[in-house]
Amino acid sequence: MSAVRQLTELRVGRLEHFEVLLVLCLQPESGWDAERVSANSSLTLKTAGESLAHLHKQGLLDLVKPEPPCYRLGSRLDRGLLTRLRKDYERDRTQVINAFFTCNLDSLRSFASAFRIRRPQ
């Protein structure tokens, strides 16, 4: 699933962030606040708000209005990629979630290997 890897390279490191992007993909041009995202997903209002703020900070969402914070998909995101991921997610949610965690695990392994102490040969 190279599409999932592309998304994790954009600093989408939590499943909640991934879910928010999939929800916003439903109507990419409209503004989404935490309440609307929460109503259209399994996320709590607090988690939805934190995820929206994080994705905005990463440059993946544009702020439409400041109070209450309302966002839409940013131009930095490949909407075709999100559409493909959304279709894959609807078809086989488990496979997409496993791919998401595998990508994050690979990042963690490469980070951890930098601290591995090697014996002189």
Residue 38 token pair: 């929460």
**Does position 26 have pLDDT exceeding 70, yes or no?**
yes
Which DSSP helix (H) or strand (E) runs through 70?
strand 70-73
Whole-number Å distance between alpha carbons of 48 and 81 = 22
pLDDT, greater one: 79 or 106: 79
The more confident residue out of 104 and 71 is 71
Q: Which residue has the higher pLDDT, 69 or 110?
A: 69
pLDDT digits (tens, 9 = 90+) for 45-92: 999 999 999 999 988 999 998 888 999 998 877 888 888 888 888 888
CATH code that applies to domain 2-112: 1.10.10.10
The pLDDT assigned to 83 comes to: 84
Q: How confident is the model at residue 116 (pLDDT cuts 50, 70, 90)?
A: low
pLDDT(37) > 90: yes
Query: What's the pLDDT band for 7 if we cut at 50, 70, 90?
Result: low
Average pLDDT of the chain, as a whole number? 81
**Is 115 or 106 the better-scoring residue by pLDDT?**
115
**What is the predicted pLDDT for the residue at 104?**
57
At a CB cut-off of 8 Å and minimum separation 6, what does 101 contact? 15
Tokens of 88: 């894959």
